[in-house]
Amino acid sequence: MIKMISYEYCFTNQPSKECPIDACWIIERNTGICLFESDHKNVKSEEISVDLLCGFIFAISKFTSEVFVDTIRHLEMGKRNLIFEFSESLIFILAVKKKQISKEKLEAMVKKLSKTFVAKYKDRLKHWNGEVKQFEEFSKHLNDVW
C-alpha cells in the first residue's frame, strides 16, 4: 500500500518536511505548451519562465523519443530528480528532492497525477484550443492526487 500525501502538506506556502513534491508540470506533448504548473517551493529560478522550462523538458522528451526510440522516465540533477509520465497527448513531471521518497512511490504519484488530470479534463483536451487558463483550477484537485 502506497501512502499518499495530502495537498495541505505539499501545496501550502509553508514548507513541509513531509511532502517530497517540490513542483509539478503538465505539458502538451505535441507543442511543449505548459497546461499546468505548481511550483510551490520555487524550484525554478525566477528569471526562468515556465515556457522556457517546459520547452527544455519538451526538447529532451522529443530527443529521447526520436534518437533512442524511448521515453525519458527520470532526470537526475544535483539536488533534485524529475520524474516523468506520458499519456497520449501529455507529459507529467514531478520535481522532488533526492532520497526523500522511494522511486516506486514517486512513480505511483505521477501516474495518479496523470490519471486524475486526464479524467477531469478529457473532453477539454479533445477540443483544446490553446487556452491554458482553463486548467488553473486543477490546483484545487491536487489533494485527490497526493
Say if residue 46's pLDDT is above 80: no
- Under the banding of pLDDT at 50, 70 and 90, the label for residue 34 is very high
In angstroms, the CA 126 to CA 103 distance is 31
How much is the pTM? 0.80
**Assigned domain for 4 exists:** no
The pLDDT of residue 18 is 60
**Assigned domain for 34 exists:** yes
Q: Which residues contact 40 (CB under 8 A, 6 or more apart)?
A: 10, 11, 12, 13, 22, 23
Indicate the average pLDDT of the chain.
80
Domains in the chain: how many in total? 1
Domain that holds residue 57: 20-145
The pLDDT of residue 116 is 92
**Assigned domain for 24 exists:** yes
The CATH number of whichever domain residue 55 belongs to comes to: 3.30.450.70
In angstroms, the CA 47 to CA 34 distance is 17
**Assigned domain for 136 exists:** yes
Say if residue 137's pLDDT is above 70: yes
**Assigned domain for 31 exists:** yes
**Assigned domain for 9 exists:** no
Q: What is the arithmetic mean of pLDDT over 71-77?
A: 86
**Assigned domain for 3 exists:** no
